């Protein structure tokens, strides 16, 4: 029985794949179980003989149950196939890689993780935001904006006091509530903030502003998932955004209420 490779595909652009990932896809993969977030440009690198199954898991849409993905991986591995589980970003950062390695181990199947560039670091960089910078912050916290599956909410007021850059994954749908909780937790409303959608892809767009006006800017620009939200002084270093830089505050507030 061969092992299953859990491969991080990075944030989107194919040339941000690791060499190890690109080689495994081009030379060894026989079965590829790919997430929704994996771009067509990356799937084009997979050996033509390989079978690619899309097992999308994007919030709000019908998705393949996690248990079914586990069963598929085990089934093909037992048949001696070289199975690749291909995920956006890094498999171990909000990628359920941990759960999948455990499920494989329960069935006696070995796994090898191939790290990928996580969106929370690579996507801010794509618009000029260093997630840490000695002049502005002691560190960075990667946090999910969606608790999901009955799990508890992140401790937003604790995060507001963390003194670190906050990088929020899967937060766009709950942006208003997250902003309200961070402000209630003591983060000044004029803290710099940015949102970047489809980072590193040709469709990449972003807005920058402050914590208070970010929801309005996101709505005015019509940004959609996948998006990363950055809150903290470093967000002020983002390149100028072309969508909302000149929109007056009252219009942003109107957009926010319309959204
Ligand atoms: N394992 C992935 C994260 C999966 S969770 C990683 O390490 O990057 C899915 C979330 O990742 C999305 O909701 C979004 O918040 C973020 N994301 C992934 N790709 C992105 C991209 N190209 N641009 C912006 N956000 C992205």
Partners of 7 in beta bridges: 86, 114
Angle at 32 between CA 101 and CA 20, to 5 degrees: 75
Model confidence at 245, pLDDT cuts 50, 70, 90, reads confident
Task: Report d(CA 43, CA 192) in Å as an integer.
Answer: 36
With a CB cutoff of 8 Å and minimum separation 6, the contacts of 23 are none
For the segment 9-17, the average pLDDT, to the nearest whole number, is 96
Task: Report d(CA 169, CA 252) in Å as an integer.
Answer: 23
Give this prediction's pTM.
0.94
Active site residue 57: yes
Partners of 230 in beta bridges: 167, 194
Task: Report d(CA 156, CA 74) in Å as an integer.
Answer: 38
pLDDT in tens, 27-43: 999 999 999 889 999 99
Task: Report d(CA 38, CA 9) in Å as an integer.
Answer: 7
Of 29-33, 133-137, 243-247, minimum mean pLDDT range: 243-247
What is the model's pLDDT at position 65?
86
Distance from the alpha carbon of residue 78 to the mean position of ligand 1, in angstroms: 31
Active site residue 27: no
* All structural domains of the chain with their residue ranges: 4-114, 119-258
What is the model's pLDDT at position 62?
66
Distance from the alpha carbon of residue 119 to the mean position of ligand 1, in angstroms: 5
Model confidence at 60, pLDDT cuts 50, 70, 90, reads low
Q: Is the distance from CB of 230 to CB of 141 less than 8 angstroms?
A: no
What is the model's pLDDT at position 57?
60
If one looks up domain 119-258 in CATH, what number appears? 3.30.950.10
Tell me the CB-side half-sphere exposure of residue 40, using CA atoms within 13 A: 1
Cβ of 93 closer than 6 Å to ligand 1, yes or no, is yes
Model confidence at 15, pLDDT cuts 50, 70, 90, reads very high
Model confidence at 124, pLDDT cuts 50, 70, 90, reads very high
Partners of 208 in beta bridges: 194
What is the model's pLDDT at position 1?
64
Q: Tell whether domain 4-114 is in CATH 3.90.1150.10.
A: no
With a CB cutoff of 8 Å and minimum separation 6, the contacts of 125 are 131
């Amino acid at each position: 029985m061969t092992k299953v490779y859990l491969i991080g595909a990075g944030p989107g652009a194919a040339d941000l794949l690791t060499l190890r990932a690109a080689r495994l896809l081009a030379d060894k993969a026989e079965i590829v179980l790919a997430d929704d977030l994996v771009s067509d440009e990356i799937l084009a690198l997979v050996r033509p003989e390989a079978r690619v199954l899309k097992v999308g898991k994007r919030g709000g849409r019908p998705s393949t149950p996690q248990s079914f993905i586990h069963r598929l991986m085990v089934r093909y591995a037992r048949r001696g196939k070289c199975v690749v589980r291909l995920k956006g970003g890094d498999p171990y950062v909000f990628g359920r890689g941990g759960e999948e390695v455990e499920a494989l181990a329960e069935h006696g199947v070995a796994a090898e993780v191939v790290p990928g560039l996580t969106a929370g670091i690579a996507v801010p960089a794509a618009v000029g935001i260093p997630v840490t910078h000695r002049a502005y912050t002691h560190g960075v916290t990667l946090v999910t904006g969606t608790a999901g599956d009955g799990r508890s909410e992140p401790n937003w007021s604790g995060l507001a006091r963390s003194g670190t850059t906050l990088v929020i994954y899967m937060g766009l749908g709950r942006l208003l509530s997250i902003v309200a909780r961070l402000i209630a937790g003591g983060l000044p409303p004029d803290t710099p903030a940015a949102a970047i959608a489809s980072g590193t892809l040709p469709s990449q767009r972003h807005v920058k502003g402050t914590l208070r006006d970010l929801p309005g800017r996101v709505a005015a620009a019509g940004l959609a998932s996948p998006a990363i939200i950055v809150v903290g002084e470093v967000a002020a270093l983002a390149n100028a955004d072309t969508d909302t830089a000149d929109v007056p505050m009252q219009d942003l507030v109107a957009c926010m209420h319309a959204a």
